Amino acid sequence: MINEKFRLFAQKISLIAGRPLTFLLAVVVIISWGFSGSFFNYSDTWQLVINTSTTIITFLMVFIIQNTQNRDARSIQLKLDELIRSTKSARNSLLYLENLEDDEIDRLSEEFQKIYQKEMRRRGRVKNGSF
C-alpha cells in the first residue's frame, strides 16, 4: 500500500517537475531571491535560505527521479523481453540480458557491433568503431 502511494506521488511530482511552467517558477524564485539580497544586506541568513532550500529539494528529488527511472526502465525491459519472446527468429537467450555480468554484455555488444559493420559493408557504407 505504501509502495503504491509512493509510486503515485513520485509519478505526479516528476510530471509536475518536468513542466516548463515549473522551470519558469524556479527561475522566478531564484531571481526574486537575488533581488531580495540588497533588502537583507546579503547576509549569511539570506544565503543560507537558498542554499538550504535547494539542497533539501535536490535531495528529495533524487529519490523521486530514481523511482520513476527505475519503473520506466523495468517497463521498457519487459516490453523488449516480450518482443524478443514473441519473435520467432530472435534469440530467447537475450531475455533478461540486464542480469548478465558485464563481461558477457561486453561480448554480446562486440558481437552486435560486428553484425552492424557487416551490414554496413554489405550496403556499401563502411563504418569503423562503435555503434
**Nearest-angstrom CA–CA distance, 97 and 13:** 31
**Nearest-angstrom CA–CA distance, 17 and 23:** 7
Return the pLDDT at 94: 80
**Nearest-angstrom CA–CA distance, 68 and 62:** 10
pTM of the model: 0.66
Please state, rounded to an integer, the average pLDDT across all residues of the chain.
90
Q: How confident is the model at residue 2 (pLDDT cuts 50, 70, 90)?
A: very high
User: What are the tens digits of pLDDT across the range 112-125?
Assistant: 899 999 989 988 87
From 64, 32, 24, 25, select the one nearest 50 (Cα to Cα).
32
Reduced to 3 states (helix: H, G, I; strand: E, B; else coil), residue 47 is helix
Q: Residue written as cell 523511482?
A: 67
Query: Is the predicted pLDDT of residue 14 greater than 80, yes or no?
Result: yes
Return the pLDDT at 125: 72
Cell of residue 118, nine digits = 557487416
User: What are the tens digits of pLDDT across the range 27-53?
Assistant: 999 999 999 999 999 999 999 999 999
Return the pLDDT at 12: 94
The residue among 99 and 48 whose pLDDT is bigger is 48
